[in-house]
Structure 1
Amino acid sequence: MKEQYEVKRLDKPVDWTVEVPGSKSMTNRALLMAALSDGQVKLEGVLFSDDSRHFLESLVSLGFTVDINEPEKTVTVLGCGGNIPKKQAVINVGSAGTAARFLTAMLGFSDGEYTIEASEQMKKRPMQELFTLLTGVGAKITYLEMEGHLPVQICGRRNPKADSDQTQTDGKPLQLSLDISKSTQFLSALLLISPMIQQGLDIHITSEKTDGSYIRITRKMLADAGVEVKYDRKNYRVAPKAVYQKNHYQIEPDVSAACYFYAAAAITGGRALVGHVQKDNSQGDMKFLDVLAQMGCTVTEKADGIEVAGPAEGALKGISVDMNDFSDQALTLAAIAPFCNSDVHITHIGHIRGQECDRLHAMAEELTKRGITCTEEPDAITIKPGIPSPGIVSTYEDHRVAMSFALLGLKTDGIIIDNPSCCRKTFENYFDLLDKLS
């Protein structure tokens, strides 16, 4: 792909019917669950991207038998009942936050010794809460660069060299405390590896935030596989001897990816239908459809997917919205905010400063460079209506910055996306698809 991509300005409303890749969140959860199952498990509708390939390569490096069929979008994993075939290995999680958190938790509760490597981007992202918890239950963590961050060497708590006494459980569940204010992936990781903890698991959440859309995806997938997670608004409990009992996963389309096409319909006054997205999809970004409806769009569920129709002439209403629970779409809303008829105020998104980049600052910086007035706060942003000026959008090696800010160019001449190939992380043919549609 070229180092820069100039977005084609549209001279009429979009009229699009598109298919998007499978959900990254569900793909990587299903891969871990398959590896911890006992026997062969097949995944269909799998997302193939940088993140999922790093997850797959890590499983192979750990000795799992994995059959990959990219054209058919399927993966078959031979699970080993909570055991890891290789007792010593090196894995590289790249920039994948899910792979980093999920696999670290699995290795921390294993009986092996491993090295976890990562990209420069992932090395900057928070991991300390998970490392502290794993150390507390007996795993040994050796930091290879910066303390509290990847890369690390990890000796699992079931390894004889670890500090954990596995015999002293007194018949009680393993008691853990966890702060999830920086990332709910820490909690999802522990719930996903609960079949490795035969005594059962009781997690007390110490942060103000105790739940979230991605945690609900995790709980639903576990329930569908026969593992019930009880939640009382502060504690999560998994009964002893949990076992995954599912040998087939159908991955939903990635609603996060679908939202870029829905947003295009919103700002152009056109229509976009994304195939196989339905209202019973479990992903948190479905809430973005409610936001678009409040802004004046019409959202219709059809047999082949959900369709969004923008208001005539793209006359979107401004909005004030708490996006804490579906913050991946904060960038999308920020990118279409200049085309609204009043201010857009996005709140409770301070945690996105610690993602692939400081996303809150990135949206303020890039909109300001394009002549749009913004007010950046520690946990929020206000964006005023305006006409974006032409220019280059920096993407900070962040796929969501690249995909979101391409929307500016559908209504403005001369918008150029720098480093469009960063979309390989989750949607490697995004700009190819945009070319075909335009």
Structure 2
Amino acid sequence: MTPAGGHWSAPHHPTPVHATIRVPGSKSHTARALVLAALANAPTTIRGALDSRDTTLMARALTSLGAGVERDGDVWRVAPLDPAAMEPTTVECGLAGTVMRFVAALAATGACPIRFTGDEAALARPMGPLLDALSSMGVRVEYEGDAGHLPFTVTGPARVPASATVRVDASASSQFLSALLLASPLLADPLRIEADGNVVSMPHVRLTVEAMRERGLDVTDAGPGRWLVRPGRAAGESVDIEPDLTNAGVFLAAAHLTGGTVRIPDWPRATAQAGDAWRDLFTRLGARLRWVEGALELTGPGVGTYDGLDIDMSDHGELVPTLAAVLLHARTPSHLRGIAHLRGHETDRLAALVDQIHALGGGAREKADGLVIIPTPLHGAALEARQDHRLATFAALVALVVPGVQLDDVGATSKTLPGFTRLWEMCVSGHRGT
């Protein structure tokens, strides 16, 4: 039996993988849909919602603030909350950046103390820029440990500053911007939000703005890195969640590495998801992609048949661990730039990837803003998830074409892709159902 968590001998399958894999709903879409449903003017039905640790924590957090959430499989029904009726509570964030950031901004629109805490590893995740922005809006922020990190308490209500503008440094996480955007319609007056410096993972901000506009909220582009949000309540309606394209990349990569063919049903032709960048990335790496019966199909070239990449990944940092597993088998070195912010994810992803690649006998080194990968012959190794779902799926990909790879905690995948081991075995065994 495949373990739900714990030690895992990852499947080795160097021959071509041929499968059709239906990927669960997008974590990013589900998180935003839940927050907007909690802020709506009427109940909302969310179809295709991802049921994972992160989204469960989001639902519990919103419930603790006064929303109602009922689940029936992947259909979730949400009754909106009233910020004026919030009561003091503690929000458990786990390792979910969306919870600690989106819900903190939402909680700041109420008038009572809301405490935020999380897993031990979450205490290292950056929160300072968002909390500084909330402080500039009159919110009281009290830290229990290091400033700018969990645990902390916010006490609102947030108010639009006299300048009608709030600035936030989003160079460490685009979620700081998304948090302010999502909460600002609850304010009494229009708010201009401005990003200081470079914004990483910009597609996630565009996803937030698109989701808000689809629900009838008034968000105006006011120039590069600037938005004007007017007061209002989101429309309560039925929302359909797209498949998680970032997670889908792992299954496409299986075909890429083995020279097989994998189909992902319901891949949207147009989407704001950052994971849609896989289509361009795999094409650049020699894969053939086409649309077949509403699915995206990738046929891979196999290991050692494609050149590496020199590419800015600042907009697509979530894709880096999976991309790194593919680039280990390129013919030439790769340089992934613009990803210094990955040091502040579930773990320091740059250091962790270098460590795991070295354990496999591969060549890699950190740069100030990224990662250099130097393809060399690899061997089996015991790899560490470090509580990071992306490192766990990195190990699964490596194991396909490198024998003897073991992972200490495959359960880390439950953060965004519960049932990963079942889906992975379906992929490796040639599942063709839909």
Select which of 264, 281, 284 maps to 2:254: 264
Q: Are residues 1:48 and 2:51 paired?
A: yes
> How far apart are the structure 1 equivalents of 2:142 and 2:302?
58
What residue number does 1:309 align with?
A: 299
Select which of 290, 295, 315 maps to 1:300: 290
Select which of 212, 220, 231 maps to 1:230: 220
Q: Which residue identity is paired with 1:408?
A: V
Structure 2 contact 46–240 (Cα < 8 Å) conserved: yes
Structure 1 contact 268–314 (Cα < 8 Å) conserved: no
What residue number does 1:188 align with?
A: 178
TM-score between the two structures when normalised by the length of structure 2: 0.94
> How far apart are the structure 1 equivalents of 2:271 and 2:19?
21
Q: Which residue identity is paired with 2:89?
A: A
Structure 1 contact 349–380 (Cα < 8 Å) conserved: yes
What residue number does 1:6 align with?
A: 9
What residue number does 2:42 align with?
A: 39
Contiguous gaps of at least 5 residues in structure 1: 159-163
Q: Which residue identity is paired with 1:234?
A: G
Secondary structure (helix, strand or coil) at the match of 1:410 reads helix
Segments ≥4 residues shifted beyond 6 Å: none
Map 1:146-161; keep pairs closer than 5 Å. Answer: 146-157=146-157
Q: CA deviation at 1:181?
A: 0.3
Q: CA RMSD in A?
A: 1.8
> How far apart are the structure 1 equivalents of 2:409 and 2:327?
23
Q: Which has the higher contact order (CA 8 A, sep 6+)?
A: 2
Moved more, 413-422 or 139-148: 139-148
Q: Which residue identity is paired with 1:219?
A: V
Structure 1 contact 117–152 (Cα < 8 Å) conserved: yes
What residue number does 1:78 align with?
A: 79
Q: Are residues 1:417 and 2:420 paired?
A: no
Moved more, 422-431 or 276-285: 276-285
Q: CA deviation at 1:437?
A: 2.9
Q: Which residue identity is paired with 2:272?
A: S
Q: CA deviation at 1:83?
A: 2.2
> How far apart are the structure 2 equivalents of 1:210 and 1:420?
28
Secondary structure (helix, strand or coil) at the match of 1:293 reads helix
Map 1:318-397; keep pairs closer than 5 Å. Answer: 318-397=308-387
> How far apart are the structure 2 equivalents of 1:14 and 1:97?
34
What residue number does 1:161 align with?
A: none
> How far apart are the structure 2 equivalents of 1:110 and 1:118?
21
- Which deviations, in whole Å up to 9, do the C-alpha atoms of 1:117-155 show, x marking residues without a partner? 211121110000111111111111111222211111221
Select which of 373, 385, 398 maps to 1:408: 398
Q: How many residues in Structure 1 have an aligned counterpart in Structure 2?
A: 424
Select which of 417, 421, 433 maps to 2:423: 433
Map 1:172-187; keep pairs closer than 5 Å. Answer: 174-187=164-177
Map 1:41-120; keep pairs closer than 5 Å. Answer: 41-69=44-72, 71=73, 73-80=74-81, 83=83, 85-120=85-120
Secondary structure (helix, strand or coil) at the match of 2:315 reads helix
Relative to structure 1, is the Cα distance of residues 277 and 84 closer, same or farther in structure 2, using a 3 angstrom cutoff?
A: farther
Q: CA deviation at 1:387?
A: 2.3
Q: CA deviation at 1:2?
A: 4.8
Q: Which residue identity is paired with 2:213?
A: A
What residue number does 2:431 align with?
A: none
> How far apart are the structure 2 equivalents of 1:374 and 1:84?
52
> How far apart are the structure 1 equivalents of 2:278 and 2:42?
38
> How far apart are the structure 2 equivalents of 1:284 and 1:211?
8
Secondary structure (helix, strand or coil) at the match of 2:277 reads helix
Q: CA deviation at 1:312?
A: 5.6
Q: CA deviation at 1:247?
A: 1.2
Q: CA deviation at 1:436?
A: 3.0
> How far apart are the structure 2 equivalents of 1:320 and 1:135?
40
Contiguous gaps of at least 5 residues in structure 2: 429-434
- Which deviations, in whole Å up to 9, do the C-alpha atoms of 1:174-226 show, x marking residues without a partner? 31111100111010011111221131110122213387010010011111111
Percent sequence identity is 28
Structure 2 contact 347–388 (Cα < 8 Å) conserved: yes
Select which of 289, 308, 312 maps to 2:279: 289
What residue number does 2:18 align with?
A: 15
Q: CA deviation at 1:314?
A: 6.3
- Which deviations, in whole Å up to 9, do the C-alpha atoms of 1:75-132 show, x marking residues without a partner? 111113x525432222211111001100000111212221112111211100001111
Q: Which residue identity is paired with 1:147?
A: A
